[in-house]
Amino acid sequence: MPESAVEVSENPLARMLRELAVPVVSVMLALGIGSLVMLVAGYDPLAAFAAMFKGAFGGGRQIGETLLRATPLMFTGLAVAYGFRAGLFNIGAEGQLFLGGLSAAWLGLVLAGLPQPFNIIMMLVAGAAIGAAWAFVPALLKAKVGAHEVITTMMFTYIGKYIVSWLVTGPLRAPGQIPQTVQLPAESTLPRMHEVFGFLAVSRVHFGFVVAVVLALFIWWVLKYTTLGYESRAVGYNPWASETGGISVSATTIKALCISGALAGLAGVTEVMGVHHRLFDQFSAGFGFTGIAVALLAKNNPIGVIVAAILFGALSAGSGTMQLEAEVPAKVIFIIQALIIFLVAAEQLARWIIGRTRRVRVEHAG
């Protein structure tokens, strides 16, 4: 079932290319404007992008790093995308992922005795559950009182950050100078990909990447083929018609925001279980917010999220090298991110650049 095409006589490949045009042009434009910003600030954009590319794709280890950084973005991107499809803006993915990470940091210790993979599965489930729980109050308030989820989930992000901060500096603190939790035992961590698949180059990317891709495919399937997905999309487009069709808007809203929260929670879980193996005070580099850019770039399509997340992962992986070699502050990728959001959202601008798209209205008849 097509999401945007009115034309049906054109073949699917042409349609897909047209769908891709806007995001591709938006990214190129964003990179272009980013270059201008760098030029004005006195940096060499060509050197910057060359360094970035090297850092992101220069070798097996670099590609692994890109995929590593893409992994949490896939989860948060899915979280935000799913929310958007249901008409909800989950800006609080950041807070939900904090709590997910927290649960992993704690459960990983508590469940250490259990055999693999049970403890891993339990940790993943628990992280998703706690992410969902953290989205529940905002979901309830939205459904019952109409409180805007942007404000409530943002508040919960700060509340979540403070809770985690307290636990990490207090009850769950590991002995030592740095405020962080106790390191997880190896059984409670996600293995690195090259440990599972021997033919891969050595890098930091972990099994969470596979989980993320599988989950993206699953969410795609849910949206397209299940009644849950149908109801979420119906409510996202038109809650009144959905009501007429017997759909409970409040139940669907709550479910959708909680699912979104669960996905974000998994971002935190896999980050802790796969990368750091512990929780420290500032472990998230804004994955929740980057997830918004990922979702928008992917036009809220779960498969697109995979690609968009890898792109942003590349930006992130390359930014370190860019800072080191071209001496451009890594923060510039935030600017590029914001530009991408703008340009994708302002579809008209991109379309004008591509050229007028054909939109034929079906002739009045009957």
Partner 1 sequence: MLADIISPDLFASAIRMATPIALAAIGGTICERAGVVNIALEGMMLFGAFMGVIGAMFTGSAWIGVLTAVVAGAALALVHAFASITLRTDQVVSGTAINILALGLTGFLMEVIFGHPGTTDPVTRLGPVFDFSGPQEGMFATAWRWFDVAVMSYTPLVYVAILLAIASHWALFNTRWGLRLRALGEHPRAADTVGINVIRGRYSAVIASGALAGMAGANLTLEQTGSFTEGMTNARGFIALAANIFGRWTPGGSYGASLLFGFADALQIKMQLLREIIKVPSQFFLMIPYVLTVVVLAGVVGRAVAPAAIGKPYEKG
Partner 2 sequence: MASPLLEVRGLTKRFPGVLACDRVSLSLSPGEIVALLGENGAGKSTLVNMVYGLLTPDEGSIHVDGSEVHIRSPRHAIELGIGMVHQHFMLLNPFTVTENIVLGNEPTRAGVIDFKAARDSVRELSRRYGLTIDPDSVVRDLPVGLQQRAEILKALHRKARVLILDEPTAVLTPQEVRELFVVVRSLVADGLSVVFITHKLEEVMSVADRVVVMRDGAVVGETRTLETDTAGLARMMVGRDVVFRVEKHPSKCGETVLDVRDLTVLDERKLEAVKGVSFQVCAGEIVAVAGVSGNGQAELAEAITGLRKVASGTIALKGHDITHGTAREAIEAGVSHVPEDRHRRGLVLEFDLMENMILGDHRSAPYSKRGVIDHAAVRDMSTKRIAAYDVRTPSERVRASALSGGNQQKVVLARELGRDPELLVAAQPTRGLDVGAIEFVHSQILAERDRGKAVLLISLELEEVQTLADRILLMFEGRIVKEYLAGEASDEELGYHMTGGGGGKLAMEPGEAVGADA
Residues near partner 1 (CB under 8 A): 37, 41-42, 89, 91, 137-138, 141, 144-148, 150-152, 154-159, 162-163, 165-166, 169-170, 286, 289, 292-293, 296, 329, 331-339, 341-342, 345-349
Tokens at 177, concatenated: 């100078």
Q: How far is the CB of 363 from partner 1 (least distance, A)?
A: 21
Which does residue 364 touch among partner 2, partner 1, none (CB within 5 to 8 A, set by kind)? partner 2
Q: How far is the CB of 88 from partner 2 (least distance, A)?
A: 16
Q: How far is the CB of 13 from partner 1 (least distance, A)?
A: 29
Among 349, 359, 293, smallest CA distance to 93 is for: 293
Query: Is the Cβ–Cβ distance between 131 and 249 less than 8 Å?
Result: no
Which does residue 292 touch among partner 1, partner 2, none (CB within 5 to 8 A, set by kind)? partner 1
Which does residue 358 touch among partner 1, partner 2, none (CB within 5 to 8 A, set by kind)? none
Q: How far is the CB of 241 from partner 1 (least distance, A)?
A: 18
Annotate 311-323 with b (16+ C-beta within 10 A) or e (fewer).
Answer: bbbbbbbbbbbbb
13-42 residues near partner 2, rule: CB under 8 A: none
CB of 234 or CB of 294, closer to partner 2: 234
Which does residue 44 touch among partner 1, partner 2, none (CB within 5 to 8 A, set by kind)? none
Should residue 362 be labelled a site residue for partner 2 when binding is judged by CB under 8 A? yes
Residue 230 Cα distances to 227, 239, 300, angstroms: 5, 12, 15
Q: Specify the residue for token string 């998994």.
A: 266
Among 306, 338, 296, 334, smallest CA distance to 220 is for: 306
Per-residue contact flags (x/-) with partner 2 for residues 214 to 253, judged by CB under 8 A: -----------xxxx-xx-xx--xx-xxxxxxxxx-----
CB of 63 or CB of 105, closer to partner 1: 105
CA 208 to CA 192: how far, in whole Å?
9
Per-residue contact flags (x/-) with partner 2 for residues 299 to 338, judged by CB under 8 A: ----------------------------------------
Residues 231/233/234/240 CA torsion (nearest 10 deg): 110
CA 180 to CA 189: how far, in whole Å?
16
Which are the contacts of 104, defined by CB distance < 8 A and separation ≥ 6? 123, 126, 127, 184, 268, 269, 272, 273, 279
CA 337 to CA 361: how far, in whole Å?
35
Query: Is the Cβ–Cβ distance between 224 and 86 less than 8 Å?
Result: no
Interface with partner 2 by CB under 8 A: which residues?
A: 1-2, 6, 8-9, 225-228, 230-231, 233-234, 237-238, 240-248, 359-366
